[in-house]
């Protein structure tokens, strides 16, 4: 009886898993001169709105290609895109991809190798670190449009009041300044400890600043005592000096920007997107009172760099049109307009040059962009391996467990070492 | 003395009930209060309870968003149609299980329950493949069909339990009076089980009304996306459009509220009607 | 218009047929698909490996995963707490509403289910704001009476408490309404004769009302069990499984395995284990009730 059951099982699997396998083959890419492509994008993202407008204004008139958008909420993009890709449906031609998915999708065969679409000039013009974030095993699987790492936001008015001349560049200054700046109503700084990807990304900044890393150059797990220093900085800020709100172990970046624009923080490590928010009188109580600087460091001033990019679905039947869209969206003009609109660092050197030369950019904005770009230059990205989401999951756990004081930094480091070694086996 | 005791217990019952209603409605009130706050006040520390400068901006934003309008329509169409079909299919089945198929009933009921135990994550990919095969991805029909898969188990289970409560003697009496089996069901049993039918309809409806994961995976655009998906799109990595979300959620309550009140009223009337006939 | 007479059994089959056919059509495919997945090796990260029959390897690897066992423990803890509390609350309120001569029952009943009409994504986030540090309204209200609220999501016990409270808000109305409908459908004679016999309210409750209410109680418990075991959204929004994995539950484990590790086979095996555990618990419950 058993063999027949198993045979039947296999029959069903063969029928049902078939579509999945088609996707692996990366086949059915009969390239047509399609006039319509579909882009899977982050819903509610101002950047996607920017591209939507740009496409209607320039891309469609120039190329005759219309673009449909499938908007997916950020938290669900990964699952949704994976389902679409795994089904081999090819309904989405272009994926709007968060960096950690690139190796994963590439390894699974869901992304088209972009090599034939990129010129050598392009390769030189994109920041090297930006291209790294769309590469896997030496091949490029997409093009980046957006690069960022966290900078230190600080309140110029409160700094003046406390008699602090310039933002801190070392951890010890950072702690000392935070103590001076913590008054009845305002906290010196903030720490994010929620078990979430947003918080773990910021924690990597601290690890990098302490001289730590996940892997050494040979790819061996290299988690050492610098990670303990990183954990201890967080613990000290929350519990020893009490210069970060008590809710810090439960916060993520939404809490950081809310508290900053509510005027409750004197300093806050945060992403570039927050800068425009601080200047928006509709939501901010601190308009004109916030400036940015590079984050302080222990061994060096640095942060973890992340990118967003576009990649082509290997099941797409309109790959050439998809590539044209991606090249348009990541062209010098587009990147320049994006950086100017959102006060962000740019992924292309030529776009940055253009910004520097543009008289319509105010000096203040120019210096903010320069600071953010410097932070990107000094930053390092995360390992581009398909196992990264698994590793990140363990870092999220460790961070949350340590900041809520369930385990010590030493225990966390030992466990991380064991977990990551296990994942990489 | 006894009437005093009766009265005081009645008063106590009301006090407890009002306390319960207060606790239940407080978060809801907070939601509506939030929906008329402006961006600065929304997150103020410490929070303000009554908005200092109430604004209708959030509602204006919501109404001018085309995806909200289409989402609203999709939600209504999908939820109502799947609920209606689910009840029509499940009601006779539940009755058959409780009366005529007693021997097989536990097994079938159990199978039905098991289908409800799977986390939606598990079924999202197979449902996607299934709908893709029938070209039903991104259609309201496809979504409604998938919703039946979890609405029907709920309805069958609830109705089965309510049908079981109906005393068999009533049906025997009906038989003696010369009613057919179908007449016994529609004229005697259903009226008695109406409160149960109301509850089953309401919760079945709410399942579809609030469903998120399948709606996310199985739709792609405004032509089929429901409000839970539309609203979740207002959370991006950079910001949560909380004002817009609370306003939308506040509006989204209203059709459900009207529908549920109507169902309850209708059922009560039917109940009395049935009781008179008896 | 008289149909040819069929016997009761055939008549029953006739009534049940449409539902059975439809439900099978919808559910059997996903069910079989997932079952097959759970017995093969399919990790999207290893597409080059040919599909192989894996026996119980996926099941074993889930069962020996300490994170699964941890999630199991948290889920059991959550399910027991929430089911007990919501049942007691629901039954208690149902009794109050079912009192003779109560007015405004319909309105009250409608008001009490309004929480269920709020899209869960919004109510979930709302509970996060309510309990959060700095701008949370809950601790603010406590401060009015000079109490200092905890940082709710920063310790395992208070985080789980917050999850249970948020869940009670949307779960209790189900218990309440089903039990109330059950009470309203009860025949009056047995209760009246018990009153004539001079039985006190507790005796009436224990020996007459509850036994009569048995089908409704069983339905409530079984359906709520199936739902409570699958809890995911509230946990995801409120704590993300933290602090330090202390609120990881079944569904979040399966989600992580399927869509973070892209190991669909292990995810499917995990969900079958989860269903098996739920099914066995349900069977035990059914037995105790018969």
Q: Determine whether the interchain pair B245/C122 forms a contact, defined as Cβ–Cβ distance below 8 Å.
A: yes
Between B120-133 and B140-165, two packed helices, what is the crossing angle to 10 degrees?
130
For range A347-358, the mean pLDDT? 93
ipTM over 0.90: no
Domain ranges of chain C: 59-289
Option in B27, B44, B228 nearest C119 (CB): B228
**Residues of chain A positioned with their CB less than 8 A from the CB of C135:** 258, 262
Task: Please check the confidence at residue A14 and state whether its pLDDT lies above 90.
Answer: no
Domains assigned to chain A: 31-148+306-380 (3.40.190.10), 151-302+387-424 (3.40.190.10)
State which residue of chain A sits closest to B213, comparing Cα positions: A76
DSSP for residue A220: -
As given in the structure block, the two tokens for residue C250 are 């079944």
Range B65-277 classified under CATH 1.10.3720.10: yes
**Residues of chain B positioned with their CB less than 8 A from the CB of C19:** 89-90, 92-93, 152, 156
pLDDT, tens digit (0-9, with 9 covering 90-100), for C26-40: 988 899 999 999 999
Determine contact, residues B77/B255, Cβ cutoff 8 Å.
no
**Where does the pLDDT of residue A177 fall: very low under 50, low under 70, confident under 90, or very high at 90 and above?**
very high
C205 or B219: which leads in pLDDT: B219
Q: Does A79 touch chain B (CB under 8 A)?
A: yes
pLDDT, tens digit (0-9, with 9 covering 90-100), for C89-143: 999 999 888 887 777 777 888 888 888 888 888 989 999 989 998 888 899 899 9
Residue B27: which of C155, C167, C240, C161 has the closest Cα? Answer: C167
DSSP helix/strand/coil, A152: strand
pLDDT of residue C47: 65
Determine contact, residues C78/C166, Cβ cutoff 8 Å.
no
Q: Determine whether the interchain pair C279/B114 forms a contact, defined as Cβ–Cβ distance below 8 Å.
A: yes
Size of interface A-C (CB pairs under 8 A): 125
Task: Please check the confidence at residue C172 and state whether its pLDDT lies above 80.
Answer: yes
DSSP helix/strand/coil, A126: strand
DSSP string across A32-71: ---SEEEEEEETT-HHHHHHHHHIIIIIHHHH--EEEEEE
Per cent of chain C over pLDDT 90 is: 47
Task: Kindly provide the residue ranges of all beta strands, DSSP E only, lying in A126-213, ordered along the sequence.
Answer: 135-136, 139-140, 143-148, 151-155
Q: Does A46 touch chain B (CB under 8 A)?
A: yes
For the beta carbon of residue C156, count every other beta carbon within 10 angstroms.
19
CATH number belonging to the domain at C59-289, selected among 3.40.640.10, 2.115.10.20, 1.20.1260.10, 1.10.3720.10:
1.10.3720.10
Q: Determine whether the interchain pair C137/B49 forms a contact, defined as Cβ–Cβ distance below 8 Å.
A: yes
Q: Determine whether the interchain pair C44/A82 forms a contact, defined as Cβ–Cβ distance below 8 Å.
A: yes
Q: Does A136 touch chain C (CB under 8 A)?
A: no
pLDDT of residue B269: 65
Q: Determine whether the interchain pair B31/C110 forms a contact, defined as Cβ–Cβ distance below 8 Å.
A: no
**Mean of per-residue pLDDT scores for chain A:** 90
pLDDT, tens digit (0-9, with 9 covering 90-100), for C251-273: 999 988 888 888 889 999 999 99
Q: Does C111 touch chain B (CB under 8 A)?
A: yes
pLDDT of residue C224: 94
**Mean of per-residue pLDDT scores for chain C:** 88
As given in the structure block, the two tokens for residue A144 are 């980046």
Option in C20, C215, C271 nearest B119 (CB): C271
Determine contact, residues B178/C195, Cβ cutoff 8 Å.
no
Q: Determine whether the interchain pair C27/B249 forms a contact, defined as Cβ–Cβ distance below 8 Å.
A: no
State which residue of chain C sits closest to A100, comparing Cα positions: C260
Q: Determine whether the interchain pair C232/B17 forms a contact, defined as Cβ–Cβ distance below 8 Å.
A: no
pLDDT of residue C48: 65
What pTM was estimated for this model as a whole?
0.89
CA atoms within 13 A on the CB side of C246: 25
Q: Does A246 touch chain B (CB under 8 A)?
A: no
Q: Determine whether the interchain pair B113/C119 forms a contact, defined as Cβ–Cβ distance below 8 Å.
A: no
**Where does the pLDDT of residue A19 fall: very low under 50, low under 70, confident under 90, or very high at 90 and above?**
very low
For range A17-46, the mean pLDDT? 63
């Amino acid at each position: 009886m058993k063999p027949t059951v198993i045979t039947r099982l296999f029959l069903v699997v063969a029928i049902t898993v078939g579509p999945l396998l088609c996707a692996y083959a990366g086949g059915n890419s009969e390239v047509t001169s399609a006039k319509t492509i579909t882009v899977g994008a982050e819903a509610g993202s101002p950047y996607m709105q920017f591209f939507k407008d740009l496409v209607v204004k320039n891309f469609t008139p120039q190329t005759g290609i219309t673009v449909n958008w499938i908007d997916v909420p950020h938290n669900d993009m990964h699952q949704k895109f994976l389902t679409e890709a795994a089904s081999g449906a090819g309904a989405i031609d272009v994926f709007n991809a968060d960096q950690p998915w690139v190796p994963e999708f590439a390894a699974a065969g869901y992304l088209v190798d972009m090599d034939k679409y990129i010129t050598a000039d392009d390769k030189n013009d994109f920041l090297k670190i930006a291209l790294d974030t769309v590469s896997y095993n030496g091949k490029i699987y997409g093009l980046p449009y957006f690069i960022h790492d966290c900078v230190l936001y600080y309140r110029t008015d409160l700094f003046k009041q406390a008699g602090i001349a310039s933002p801190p560049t070392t951890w010890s200054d950072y702690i000392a300044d935070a103590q001076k700046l913590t008054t009845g109503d305002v906290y010196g700084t903030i720490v994010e400890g929620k078990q979430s990807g947003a918080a773990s990304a910021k924690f990597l900044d601290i690890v990098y600043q302490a001289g730590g890393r996940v892997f050494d150059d040979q790819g061996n797990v290299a988690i050492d005592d610098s990670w303990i220093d990183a954990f201890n900085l967080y613990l000290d800020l929350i519990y020893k000096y009490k210069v970060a709100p008590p809710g810090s172990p439960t916060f993520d970046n939404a809490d950081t920007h809310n508290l900053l624009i509510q005027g409750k923080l004197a300093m806050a490590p945060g992403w570039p997107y927050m800068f425009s928010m601080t200047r928006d009188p509709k939501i901010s109580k601190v308009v004109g009172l916030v400036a940015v600087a590079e984050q302080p460091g222990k061994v060096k001033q640095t942060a973890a760099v992340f990118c967003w990019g576009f990649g082509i679905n290997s099941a797409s039947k309109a790959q050439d049109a998809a590539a044209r869209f991606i090249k348009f969206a990541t062209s010098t003009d587009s990147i320049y307009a994006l950086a100017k609109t959102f006060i962000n660092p740019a992924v292309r050197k030529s776009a940055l040059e253009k910004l520097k030369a543009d008289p319509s950019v105010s000096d203040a904005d120019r210096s903010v962009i320069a600071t953010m770009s410097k932070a990107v230059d000094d930053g390092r990205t995360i390992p581009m391996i398909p196992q990264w989401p698994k590793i990140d999951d363990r870092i999220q756990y460790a961070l949350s467990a340590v900041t809520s004081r369930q385990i010590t930094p030493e225990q966390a480091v030992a466990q991380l070492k064991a977990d990551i070694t296990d994942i990489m086996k | 003395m006894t009437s005093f005791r009766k009265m005081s217990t009645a008063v106590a019952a009301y006090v407890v009930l009002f306390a319960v209603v207060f606790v239940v409605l407080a978060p809801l009130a907070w939601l509506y209060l939030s929906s008329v706050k402006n961006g600065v006040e929304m997150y103020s520390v410490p929070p303000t309870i009554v908005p200092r400068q109430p604004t209708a901006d959030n509602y204006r934003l919501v109404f001018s968003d085309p995806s909200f309008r289409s989402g609203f329509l999709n939600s209504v169409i999908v939820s109502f149609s799947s609920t209606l079909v689910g009840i029509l299919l499940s009601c006779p089945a539940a009755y058959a299980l409780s009366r005529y198929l007693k021997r097989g009933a536990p097994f079938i009921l159990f199978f039905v329950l098991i289908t409800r135990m799977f986390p939606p994550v598990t079924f999202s990919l197979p449902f996607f493949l299934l709908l893709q095969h029938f070209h039903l991805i991104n259609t309201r029909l496809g979504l409604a069909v998938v919703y039946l898969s979890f609405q029907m188990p709920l309805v069958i289970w609830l109705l089965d339990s309510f049908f079981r409560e109906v005393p068999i003697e009533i049906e025997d009496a009906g038989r003696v009076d010369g009613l057919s089996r179908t007449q016994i069901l529609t004229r005697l049993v259903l009226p008695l089980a109406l409160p149960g039918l109301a509850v089953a309809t309401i919760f079945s409806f709410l399942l579809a009304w609030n469903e998120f994961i399948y709606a996310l995976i199985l739709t792609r655009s405004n032509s089929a996306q429901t409000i839970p998906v539309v609203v979740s799109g207002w959370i991006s990595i950079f910001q949560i459009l909380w004002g817009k979300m609370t306003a939308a959620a506040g509006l989204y309550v209203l059709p459900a509220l009207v529908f549920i009140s109507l169902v309850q009223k209708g059922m009560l009337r039917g109940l009395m009607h049935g009781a008179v006939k008896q | 218009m008289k149909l040819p007479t069929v016997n009761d059994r055939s008549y029953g089959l006739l009534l049940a047929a449409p539902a059975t056919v439809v439900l099978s059509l919808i559910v059997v495919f996903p069910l079989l698909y997932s079952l097959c997945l759970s017995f093969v090796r399919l990790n999207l990260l290893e597409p080059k490996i040919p599909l192989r029959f894996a026996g119980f390897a996926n099941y074993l690897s889930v069962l020996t995963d300490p994170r699964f066992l941890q999630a199991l423990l948290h889920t059991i803890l959550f399910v027991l707490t929430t089911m007990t509390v919501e049942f007691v609350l629901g039954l208690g309120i149902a009794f109050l509403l079912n009192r003779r001569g109560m007015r405004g029952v319909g309105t009250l009943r409608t008001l009490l289910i309004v929480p269920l009409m709020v899209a869960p994504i919004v109510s979930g986030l709302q509970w996060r704001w309510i309990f959060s540090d700095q701008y949370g309204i809950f601790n603010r209200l406590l401060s009015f009476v000079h109490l200092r609220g905890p940082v709710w999501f920063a310790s395992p016990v208070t985080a789980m408490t917050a999850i249970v409270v948020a869940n009670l808000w949307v779960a209790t109305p189900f218990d309440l309404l089903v039990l109330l409908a059950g009470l309203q459908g009860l025949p009056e004679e047995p209760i009246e004769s018990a009153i004539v016999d001079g039985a006190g309210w507790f005796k009436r409750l224990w020996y007459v009302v509850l036994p009569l209410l048995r089908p409704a109680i069983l339905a409530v418990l079984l359906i709520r069990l199936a739902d409570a075991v699958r809890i995911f959204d509230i946990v995801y929004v409120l704590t993300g499984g933290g602090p330090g994995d202390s609120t990881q539950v079944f569904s979040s484990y399966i989600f992580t395995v399927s869509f973070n590790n892209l190991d669909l086979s292990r995810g499917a095996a995990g969900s079958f284990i989860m269903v098996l555990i739920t099914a066995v618990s349900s069977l035990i419950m059914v037995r105790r009730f018969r």
